Structure 1
């Protein structure tokens, strides 16, 4: 199957590429002209800003996809930096433009939504529950959800290793900490790791071609405190204390029993997913990327990668520049 992954250099997009390239012909797009570490796709298309329709049409012409996975989206931190207009365009409007393009190309579309379409006041959310987002990220992700034929929208929360030089997610904050890190005992989620999300996308593409509409992809509920405690133990971080906090209250647990019953898929238990995540962290350390995230060291590393890794213009396992 020919698969086009949009946003192939992000946390989720990178994992999607790594999993899908084992069984499919994968084309990945990245927004930057020359990514410091290109995703391991069969071909990488650089300089593809999804807000520019001509670039996207060119990507479709190169990839000729049977399926498209949209891993492009502005997270809350990026919304603070780029502003509301960018969030509306990328999170809310673009998915619908993409759906029309996929329909014209007769390509299936898998779109990533968020558990933040819910406020977190209640928990145990089903697909039929009325969303009640409380911030711009949740509102724009809700507006971007798809219901057209040939589209699959997955609501979830994803954790994993970030590729940004200035990461801000839960796992990267934990890895950058020293001495102690707060662990919220009343913040509950039911997401999955990026690697597990990628596995399900592969399963949906090859095993469930008729799966359409909005579905919840979720594991068992877990608190931030329990997740970080489990990860610290797996990594042997005896130098780091996970300090329990109860000042935040949020329950965005999604119920995925409908997906489990239809597909037969159920995510692994959290110890299994955390073990895989810890192994990825250890591999990154071995490869020389610090989990302590010294900004100067990260900056030097990225600059070194750019200088040491000139990229071909358009070759298999290389980079296609469309400028």
Structure 2
């Protein structure tokens, strides 16, 4: 029996996309079977799966809730991934660990490189940055993939929220002064599987290890992303609300978001030949899927 690619993250957006695109080569696990809050479950599932490669898509992603439970966020974003990385190191297999643009404060003024120092503004970003360091220290064949603004036809995400909100509200107020690179979960999953394929074809190479940025091509504000999603929904007969751009200060949250977390993804293309598609095209495809499936 072929050793699988073990994907953590249960029914999350990325794990779901990896399972759908990767097919039988992917074994997806999540709570309660696999739970970073229950460390022995990590060991049990790893031993049972005997994977050839692991993709860690499990994380604490509730940015504001993390402010009130740093210990919980640290278990999910630091301790659990570090334990998984140690198992991968002992087995001599690669680990692809998914991280976030929120490890940066957004004050650089231009796209971030992998070599830029991290400067998180809240608990979520801080635990994700700590998790990156822990994973890289524990596993010599670790790849950290930072991504941003992930959306898909399933799960809780910004694109789905906007499309659903448009059916209830004639006017939507959306932050227009934060910049980033929207990323389709399907595109990211395809990129991850391409990386896995390159490793399997070439064997592990020293340049494969370390941090890479992986996000959709192009940039947007949350307001711009909302408008693109709603315009795609309007082509399906959905109402097109008036979308008003507001300032971050007009929408206070417990955790401060980075104002400009654009990621430079050229290293991913240079090393692995992977470049994610333009975000506008992928948003349109996601909305088509969402509404075509009647969700």
Question: Do they fold alike, i.e. is TM over 0.5?
Answer: yes
Structure 2 residue aligned with 1:214: 211
Per-residue deviation, 1:226: 1.5
Structure 2 residue aligned with 1:26: 26
Structure 1 stretch 244-253 or stretch 192-201: which is displaced more?
A: 244-253
Matches of 2:27 and 2:161 in 1, distance apart?
31
Matches of 1:240 and 1:14 in 2, distance apart?
30
Contact kept in structure 2, 1:158 and 1:197, CA below 8 Å? no
Q: Secondary structure at the match of 1:113?
A: strand
Aligned positions of 1:65-144 closer than 5 A: 65-77=51-63, 79-80=65-66, 83-122=69-108, 123-144=110-131
Per-residue deviation, 1:53: 2.7
Per-residue deviation, 1:198: 0.1
Per-residue deviation, 1:74: 0.5
Contact kept in structure 1, 2:145 and 2:214, CA below 8 Å? yes
Q: Secondary structure at the match of 2:6?
A: strand
Deviation sequence 1:160-181 (CA, Å, 0-9, x none): 24756xx4x3223212312122
Contact kept in structure 2, 1:113 and 1:141, CA below 8 Å? yes
Deviation sequence 1:26-55 (CA, Å, 0-9, x none): 2111204xxxxxxxxxxxxxx321232322
Aligned positions of 1:303-314 closer than 5 A: none
Contact kept in structure 2, 1:185 and 1:225, CA below 8 Å? yes
Matches of 1:163 and 1:225 in 2, distance apart?
21
Question: Which residue of 247, 264, 267 maps to 1:258?
Answer: 267
Contact kept in structure 2, 1:9 and 1:163, CA below 8 Å? no
Question: Could you tell me the TM-score, scaled by structure 2's length?
Answer: 0.83
* Unaligned segments of structure 1, at least 5 residues: 33-46, 290-323
Matches of 2:46 and 2:88 in 1, distance apart?
9
Q: Does 1:224 align with 2:222?
A: yes
Per-residue deviation, 1:99: 0.7
Number of matched pairs: 267
Per-residue deviation, 1:246: 3.3
* Unaligned segments of structure 2, at least 5 residues: 250-257
Question: Could you tell me the TM-score, scaled by structure 1's length?
Answer: 0.76
Contact kept in structure 2, 1:8 and 1:16, CA below 8 Å? no
Q: Does 1:199 align with 2:208?
A: no
- Change in CA separation of 1:14 and 1:158 when aligned onto 2, cut-off 3 Å: farther
Structure 2 residue aligned with 1:306: none
Structure 2 residue aligned with 1:155: 146
Contact kept in structure 2, 1:124 and 1:255, CA below 8 Å? yes
Q: Name the structure with the higher helix share.
A: 2
Aligned positions of 1:294-305 closer than 5 A: none
- Change in CA separation of 1:274 and 1:172 when aligned onto 2, cut-off 3 Å: closer
Per-residue deviation, 1:221: 1.4
Contact kept in structure 2, 1:48 and 1:55, CA below 8 Å? yes
Q: Secondary structure at the match of 1:253?
A: coil
Structure 2 residue aligned with 1:36: none
Matches of 1:279 and 1:107 in 2, distance apart?
38
Matches of 1:132 and 1:82 in 2, distance apart?
20
Question: Which residue of 181, 193, 207 maps to 2:172?
Answer: 181
